[in-house]
Amino acid sequence: MINQSIKTLIKQNIDEMIAFRRDLHRHPELPWEEFRTTDKIAAELDKIGIPYRRTEPTGIIADINGGKPGKRILLRADIDALPVQELNQHIDYKSTIDGKMHACGHDTHASMLLTAAKALWAIRDQLKGNVRLVFQPAEEIAQGAKGMIKQGVLEGVDSAFGMHIWSQMPVGKVSCVVGSSFASADLLTVRFKGKGGHGSMPHDTVDAVMVASAFVMNVQSIVSREVSPLDPAVVTIGRMDVGTRFNVIAENAVLEGTVRCFNIAVRDKIEEAIRRYANQVAAMYRATAEVEYIYGTLPVINDNESALLAQKVIVESFGEDALYFEHPTTGGEDFSYYTENIPGAFALVGSGNPQKDTKWPHHHGCFNVDEDGMALGAEFYAQYAWVYLNQN
C-alpha cells in the first residue's frame, strides 16, 4: 500500500526540514502577520517547481497534479505563532522576537508539509489524482481556515487531511482516532451592571462583585446538572474585571470565558443556559446582564473511513508499535471548517521526550519538540495522500 520512494525521499530531506523549521522558529509571526513565513514557503516551492498562489493577506495554496485522473486530497499545515515569551535557554534557535514564539509547533507543521511536498512532486506522474497543499495562517485565532475557504481552497477537493505535532504523546507514536478529536471552542463575555456607591453603604448599591461571583459559582452547574455525563463539556471563566477601589462598591463587572464540547446540540444547550443563568442571577441582585457568545471552532470529528485509512497507513509505514490512540482533547482546531462539509481526518504526531525536555504543554514558554518525530509527520502527510488517491 505505501510507497517506498516516499520513504526514501523523506529520509533524504530530513536535515533540510529541520533547518527550515528552526529558521521559522527563530522568526515567529502572529496570526495574519505571517509575511516572512509565507515568503520562505513560497521560495521553497519555487525551488521544487510546485505551482502555487498566495492568499490574502498571508498563506499559500499549492497544487500537485498527478499523472493520472482521480480525486483531490487536501493536506493542511498551519503557520502562525503565539504571543508567548520563549523561556527555552538551551537551544540555539530560540525566538529572536520578544514576546512571540512558535509555542504550538506550527513551525514543524509547515516544515513537514514542505518535505512531504518534495516527495509527492517527485512521484507526481504515479499519482491517480491531485494533491492540494495548504499553508494556512491565523489558526490560533480560529480565522485562518474560514479565510482560506472564502478564497476557494475547498473548490474541487474530495477529502481533507491534517495533523498536529503533540508534545503530550511519546515521540515515535502517531494517532488518528475515529470520531471526536478536538472540541468546539467558543468565546463568551458577560457584562453585569449594578449600581455603584461607597463601600460603607452597601444598602444604597447593587454590588457587581456579588453578581459576578454568584454567576461564576453557579454557572458550573450547567455542566454538572444540565449536560449529560456522557457528553464531555467545559465551561471556564478565565477573566474577571470588576471594581475600581478598595472602598468603592463596583457598578460594572466584565467576565470572559470559553466553552468546549464535542456536540453541536450540547453547545447550543450550554449557550442557552449561560444566557439564562446570567439574566436570572442579575435579576436576583437587581442588576442587568448582557451576554456575548461568539462561535469559535467547530468540533473536529474524524469520519470513520478517513480515520481507519490513516490507521492503516500508520501501521504499514511505521509499524504496529507506532499506532497510538490518544484521547480526544478539549483544545480547539479550525481544521474543523475544512471537514464541515467534506470527509477527512486529523492526526496527532508524538514529539514528547523527557530526555530532550520536550514534554511541556502547548502554548507554554518552554514548549519544544523532539525533531525526530518530524520525519514521521512528513512521511505520514505524503503516504496518506498516496494511499488515498491510489485506493480502489
Can you give the pLDDT at residue 293? Answer: 97
Average pLDDT over residues 157-167: 98
Average pLDDT over residues 229-241: 96
Average pLDDT over residues 51-69: 97
Q: What is the pLDDT of residues 102-137, one digit of tens each?
A: 999 999 999 999 999 999 999 999 999 999 999 999
Cis peptide before 57 (omega within 30 of 0): yes
Is 364 annotated in a binding site? The answer is no
Indicate if the pLDDT at residue 345 is higher than 80. Answer: yes
Q: How far is CA 275 from CA 67, 189, 294, 362, in A?
A: 55, 10, 13, 31
Average pLDDT over residues 188-211: 97
User: Is 86 tagged catalytic?
Assistant: no
Is 106 annotated in a binding site? The answer is yes
- Number of Cβ atoms within 10 Å of the Cβ of 350: 26
Of the residues 80, 158, 251, 371, only one is catalytic, namely: 80
Indicate if the pLDDT at residue 358 is higher than 70. Answer: yes
Indicate if the pLDDT at residue 341 is higher than 70. Answer: yes
Indicate if the pLDDT at residue 217 is higher than 90. Answer: yes
Average pLDDT over residues 21-42: 98
Indicate if the pLDDT at residue 168 is higher than 70. Answer: yes
Beta bridge partners of 29: none
The grid cell for 381 is 502527510
- Give the neighbor-by-neighbor strand order of the sheet with 288-297: 233-242, 252-261, 184-193, 288-297
Indicate if the pLDDT at residue 392 is higher than 90. Answer: no
Indicate if the pLDDT at residue 183 is higher than 90. Answer: yes
Is 164 annotated in a binding site? The answer is yes
What domains lie within the chain, and their CATH numbers?
Answer: 4-182+299-390 (3.40.630.10), 184-297 (3.30.70.360)
Beta bridge partners of 292: 189
Can you give the pLDDT at residue 326? Answer: 96
Is 104 annotated in a binding site? The answer is yes
Asked if residues 163 and 347 have their Cβ atoms less than 8 Å apart, the reply is: yes
Band of pLDDT at residue 1, cut at 50, 70 and 90: confident
Kind of pairing, strands 184-193 and 252-261?
antiparallel
User: Is 139 tagged catalytic?
Assistant: yes
Q: What is the pLDDT of residues 277-323, one digit of tens each?
A: 999 999 999 999 999 999 999 999 999 999 999 999 999 999 999 99
Of the residues 34, 107, 139, 370, only one is catalytic, namely: 139
Is 327 annotated in a binding site? The answer is no
Q: What is the pLDDT of residues 73-92, one digit of tens each?
A: 999 999 999 999 999 999 99
Return all residues near 200 (Cβ < 8 A) that are at least 6 apart.
Answer: 247
Asked if residues 177 and 326 have their Cβ atoms less than 8 Å apart, the reply is: yes
